[in-house]
Chain A
Amino acid sequence: MKTFKFPARHGYAVEISPFIPTRLACATSQYYGIAGCGTLLVLEQTETGISLVKSFDWNDGLFDVTWSESNEHILLTGGGDGSLQVWDTANPLPGPLQVLKEHTQEVYSVDWSQTREENLVVSGSWDRTAKVWDLNRGGQSLCTLQGHEGVIYSTVWSPHIPGCFASASGDGTLRVWDVKTGRCRLAIPAHKAEILSCDWCKYDQNVIVTGAVDCSLCVWDLRNVRQPLSRLLGHSYAIRRVKFSPFNQTVLASCSYDFTVRLWDYSRTEQPLLETLEHHSEFVCGLDFNLQIPNQVVDCSWDETVKIYTPLCLAAPLPSAQ
C-alpha cells in the first residue's frame, strides 16, 4: 500500500491518467469541502511511494476530476462555484487554461468522453442539470440536459454508445441521456434514496451500477429495469462512489461514508462481497481502477490521504462463481 498525505485538504475524487499508468490526479477541498479553497494534486506513483508532480489551487472546493482523453497534460475539474476548470500540467503558469462557468450551483461530477475525434465533456451539478461541452469549440456548453428533480451527483459517459451518458441524482433516479436529441432515454427509479454514484460496465453496454444513500449497490440491465440484476449489501453508510473493473466484467469497487472500500463480484449470488478494506479513518470519496496496471486500485479520503494498492482478492485469481 502506497500512501500520499496532503495536510489540510480532503480528498473528493481521484483518477489515473489514461496515458501514463503511474500518473494520477486528486481533486481536494479545504475544510471538508464545506467552505474554503480547493487544490488539484497531480501525483506520480514511484517504486516506493507517491510523489507530488504539481498542484493547482482554485478559490472554491474541487469535487471531481477527469483526464483529457486526447492530451496527456490536460485535466478538467468541477468546483463548488459552479465552474469547470481546464488545467495544463505543461503550463508553467499557476492558473487554469480555461474556466467554463454556466452551472449555477456546485459541479459535482465531470467526465471526459472516450470518443477521440471529439473532446466532449459532461458535467453534473447541484443545479439539477447536466451540461455537455466540446472543448474544441470554445467556452460555451453544447447542450443542457434537464429532467432530474434533485441534485446531480454523478455523470458518466457510456464507454460503448456514442453520445450517451448516465446520471445519478438525489431524486432517486438513474437517467440515461442521448446527447444527439438532448433527451432522457430512460429514467430508472433505481433507489428509494439519493443516488450518489453510477458507472458503466466496460464489457456489456447494457449494464450499469448505482450506489446510493440506502447503503446498497444495484446492478442494472438497461433492457429490463423492472428489478436490478443484483443488489449488493454490506456498506453501513451511504455509498459515495462506485467503479466497474476494467479487467473483469462482473467485478466492481465501491467506497463509502462508512470509511471502507469494498470489492464485489456481482455474478456470485452467494457471497458477492469479495473484500472489505478499512485503511481510512474518514469518509472515502474518490476511487479508481488503473486501466494499465491490472487490478491496481487508487482511492482518496477526507482523512487527507491518497492510497494505491492491489486488493488481495484481485491479486489472487478469482475463485469461480458459485
Chain B
Amino acid sequence: MHRVKVVFGHLSPPNTFKSHSDPIVSGAECRALSASPDDIVVVHGLRTAFGKAKKGSFKDTTPDELLSCVMTAVLVDVGLSPERLGDICVGNVLQPGAGALMARVAHFLSEFPETVPVYTVNRMCSSGLQALFNIAGAIRSGSYDMGLACGVESMSLRDAGEPGDVSSRLMDFEKARDCVIPMGITSENVAERFGVSREKQDAFAFSSQQKASQAQKQGIFDQEICPVTTKFVDEDGSERTVTVTKDDGIRPSTTLAGLTKLRGAFKPDGSTTAGNSSQVSDGAAAVLVGRRSVVESLSLPVLGVLKASAVVGVPPDVMGIGPAYAIPAALRQAGLTVADIDVFEINEAFASQAVYCVEKLGIAMEKVNPNGGAIALGHPLGCTGARQVVTLLNELKRRGRRAYGVVSMCIGTGMGAAAVFEYPGP
C-alpha cells in the first residue's frame, strides 16, 4: 500500500516534510544553492605571516603570542566584542595535549573575558579546519551563535616525532604499524604506487614558489596577514623587536634546475626532496564564524558560506591521497562537481600527494593554489587548515564574483578533510 502512503503524504500539512537523508549524501546537498538564516558563514579571517622554523621570523616566539595576535585582530577588524563568542576552538598538533593551556593563555593575552571558553583540537594537519568544523557544528546544533576557529603551531619550539604511549602490539596490526611510517616515506609510497614522477613533483613545487612570490610581490597576502610584533634573537645573542608582515619561506630565486639537483630527503633514491615538500614553519590563523541570521543582525559582513564539510579515512601508508577522497565526499554533500569550483586550496604536504590528488580528481591545475601553497609558504601543522580558509576566501573575494571554493588537506595516519565554501559575491 505504498501508493496510499505517497498520496496521503501529498495531503499532509506542509510542516511535516522531512528531507530525505542518506548516510553519505546528507541534506546539505539540498542546501547548495540557497541562502538560509541557519547557514554557517565566515565573517572574517586573518593569519600571521609564516616564519621558517628554527631560523625564521618567529623562531623565538611562543605560539600563544602568535595566536593571541590573530584572535585579537580578527575581532578588532570587524568591531565585535569577544563577549559575543560562544566558544573558541584552536587547532594545534605539537604542544602537549594540543596546547590546551597555551590556548587559554593566548585568550588572556588577548584580554578576552574569562567567561568565554576556549579549547583545542588535534586532527593533525587538518586541525585548523577541524576547529572550524567544530565551531560550525556547535552553531548548527544551537549551542551558540558565533565562535572563533583558530589554528596555531610553533615548529621552532616543538618537534614532531614523540609518538606518545602506544601499545607494542601495534606491530601486529598492519594498519596500526603503517601509522608510524614517517610522513616523507608515505610521500615516497604515493609517488611510487601511483607513478608520480620526480619531474612532475619538481614542476609543481617550482610553480608553487613562483605563484607565491608573485602573490607576495603583488601584495595579495597583505590583506590576510596581521602584523606581529615580537622579539628576535640574532646570531650574536642580541635581542631586538621586529614587526613581521611577510612570509619568509617564499623563494623567488628557486629554479626548476635547482630543485632537480636536490637529493631525496627521506630515502637515498627517493623523489621527495626538501624542495618539493612543505616547509616546516611557525604561524597562526583565526576565522570568525557565525550563524547567518545573527551575523546579519549584527550587520557583520559575510565573506563565505560553509556549504559542506567532510573527513574520510584512507590507508595510513599513503595518507597523502586523503584529498582525493575527501573532496568528492564534500562536493557530494554540497551537490556540486569539480567543474563548479573556481579555486581549490589543497595543502601541499608533499608535491607527490598534491599532484596525485589533482590529477585523480581531474582538476585543472590553474584552479589549484593560485597563490602558492605550503611548499612555498610553509605548513605550521595545526594552523594550516585555518590559513587555507583565509587565503581561499580572500582570493575568491579578490576575483569579485559569486563562486565556490574548496579547502582540503591530507592527514597523517591516513585521512583527508575537505570543506566547500561559497563566496556570495560583493
Chain A interface size range: 35 or more
Known: A149-B19, A149-B20, A187-B29. A106 touches B3 (CB 8 A): yes
- Say yes or no: is A196 at the interface (Cβ < 8 Å to chain B): yes
> What 1/0 mask marks residues of chain B from 377 to 407 whose CB sits below 8 Å from any chain A CB?
0000000000000000000000000000000
* Residue numbers in A under 8 Å from B1 (CB-CB): 34
A100-126: which residues lie under 8 A (CB-CB) from chain B? Answer: 105-106, 126
What would be 8 A-B contacts, judged by CB atoms less than 8 Å apart? A105-B2, A149-B29, A149-B30, A170-B6, A186-B33, A192-B14, A213-B17, A214-B14
**Contact pick for B337, options A35, A80, A105, A183, CB 8 Å:** A183
Chain B proximity mask over A209-229: 1 for CB below 8 Å, otherwise 0? 000011100000000011100
Separation in Å of the B352 CB from the closest CB of chain A?
Answer: 30
Is B298 at the interface (CB under 8 A from chain A)?
no
- A33 to B6: give the CA distance in the assembly, Å: 11
Taking a contact as CB atoms under 8 Å apart, the answer to whether A188 and B14 are in contact is no
Is B160 part of the contact surface with A, judged by Cβ < 8 Å? no
- Does A238 belong to the interface (CB within 8 Å)? yes
Interface status of B169 (Cβ within 8 A of chain A): no
The answer to whether the Cβ of A150 comes within 8 Å of any Cβ in the partner chain is yes
State whether A257 touches B11 (Cβ < 8 A).
yes
Are B25 and A189 in contact, with the CB atoms below 8 A?
A: no
CB distance from A225 to the nearest CB of B (A): 5
Residues of B within 8 A of A194 (CB): 9-10, 17
In chain B, positions 10-38 with a C-beta closer than 8 Å to chain A are: 10-12, 14, 17, 19-22, 25, 29-35
A225 touches B6 (CB 8 A): no
Contacts of A215 in B (CB 8 A): 14
CA–CA, A139 and B9, complex, Å: 33
Chain A contacts of B17 at CB under 8 A? 172, 192-194, 213-214
Chain A positions 139-196 with a Cβ under 8 Å from a chain B Cβ? 149-151, 170-173, 183-184, 186-189, 192-194, 196
On whether the beta carbons of A172 and B33 are closer than 8 Å, the reply is: no
Q: Would you call B29 and A226 a contact (CB within 8 A)? A: no
Q: Distance in Å from the Cβ of A237 to the closest Cβ of chain B?
A: 6
Q: Total interface residues on B, using CB and 8 Å?
A: 26
**Complex-state Cα separation, A189 to B17, whole angstroms:** 13
B334 to nearest A CB, angstroms? 9
- Give the residues from 232 to 287 in chain B that come closer than 8 angstroms, CB to CB, to chain A: none
In the bound complex, how far is the Cα of B3 from the Cα of A35, in angstroms? 9
Given known contacts A187-B335, A189-B31, A189-B33, is B14 in contact with A151 (CB within 8 Å)? Answer: no
CB distance from B359 to the nearest CB of A (A): 20
Given A189-B33, A225-B33, the answer on whether A237 and B4 have CB atoms closer than 8 Å is no
Instruction: Find chain A residues with CB under 8 A from B4 CB.
Output: 34
Which of A126, A237, A257 makes the CB contact (< 8 A) with B6? A126
Q: How many whole Å from B333's CB to the nearest CB in chain A? A: 11
Known: A173-B29, A257-B10. 10 other contacts (CB 8 A): A32-B7, A149-B21, A150-B20, A183-B337, A186-B33, A189-B30, A192-B14, A213-B9, A213-B14, A238-B11
* Closest residue of A by beta carbon distance from B22: A149
- If A149-B29, A172-B17, A189-B31 touch, whether A196 touches B22 (CB-CB below 8 Å) is no
Residue of A with least CB distance to B20 = A149
The answer for the CA separation of A227 and B4 in the assembled complex, in Å, is: 33
**CB pair A213 B10 closer than 8 Å:** yes
B30 touches A227 (CB 8 A): no
Bound complex: CA A214 to CA B9 (Å): 11
B14 touches A225 (CB 8 A): no
> Quick one: given A150-B20, A226-B35, are A187 and B30 in contact (CB under 8 Å)?
yes
How many Å from the CB of B127 to the closest CB on chain A? 31
Contacts of B32 in A (CB 8 A): 187, 189
B3 surroundings in chain A (CB, below 8 A): 33-35, 80, 106
**B12 to chain A: which residues have CB within 8 Å?**
213
A80 to B4, CA, bound (A): 13
Asked whether A237 lies within 8 Å of B19 as measured between CB atoms, the reply is: no
